Chain A
């Protein structure tokens, strides 16, 4: 069993199909949805963890792609811009999973470990310098 974090972008027309249902039912995948925005007549987004056997995940993703859904295997839902970050550390007490963390206690440099991010968006609200942003 492996877990992958995926970022799915749905084109306008495919949002009415129960894709997640089929991933669970037909491909034996365990789904953990972090964040979703799926609205009729608009582009949709889904950020989720899928857990299962590697071949089931691959087959499931082939199924998802058959709907012209784009799959990014990396976290694109929440972005941290190291150029805008001043490393103040205001985010640290608001990030529940320590995705935003202090890399080096001496220099107090901030880092972002994408795979720990559950997309709660606390950092978007709390960064004084606008270093964190959301794809949707």
Chain B
């Protein structure tokens, strides 16, 4: 290889660094030899185009998949926060301009997540570099057209009554939607055809299957764009699978707990089970006898508060069982407790719900950080990749309003706590070995 102004070396820059480091010198010298044999002093146009397409396609690897999906989730979280600040009560459907803009935002975050999905498929060998690039381009155009169709529909139809000129905007929704479906189906067809090309299916059934599946996939992509959390869920899945490709989980130590600690776990779980049974009993019977429970809704709210308190010993018990370094267990556990405290605060004035508006985002952030800490401490990837996964998980939990599930989740508490109190473990296949003197697994 010679200098960076060398036309052959310049083409190599389209490939990712890891690929260049592994194959660059051989690739450049082969390209030079090929061009010289054909009497050229520089790469032919065909070679240059092939290098650009394959280089960009090769860039769509597991790391790119995680980065793109994370970028999409970050955009979605930013939109969520902006919307909350700009319109605390939610965007009014009576405001056509804002309502239309939502679709632009939704597509802006769906495209990078879709890119992550394509990159992940490429890294799994489902798509060749060229095909991956074509799928990405077609899918991105399809999502943009879908967003334009939804915008035209949301903006145009609502204002058409007042301003007939806007009826044209509204009527553009149908051709735009049809174009989105056609181009999206092309992307889907390319994906399915790429998968079926590895089978010995005959050409005609393969084309028919690819076409039908392509239309279905395009429809699903459109549905995911309309669903608030559709692409966020896809994004988190892409980040998770990419991390698995990049390094997976670090090895798990055997579960060994000293006998005295196992007794403590069972005791804490028993306390939790008792309190939570009390809470559920209150929810069911309180309207009949309690002066505090004016109606069944109030009784349930009170029960949630009792159940949240009852969950505290269980969370501590689960922390005692975790076979990991102390910091990476109790850090996440402390954050779960913060989320529970926030939820408790939010429900103290329920069912008025004035405090829930602030308690849910805070609780979701705490749960997200807890989950991110727990997961990233156990990933066997580089620090940068772990940071990426942590940010993705945290943002996704905030966007998902995960803490809003806590008041529902506490109702399964008696079951979980009861099992732990009786068995001393929730593990199915690898029961905890209780030993008398062995050092505790926490490091």
Q: Do A and B come from one complex?
A: no
Q: Which residues of A contact B (CB under 8 A)?
A: none
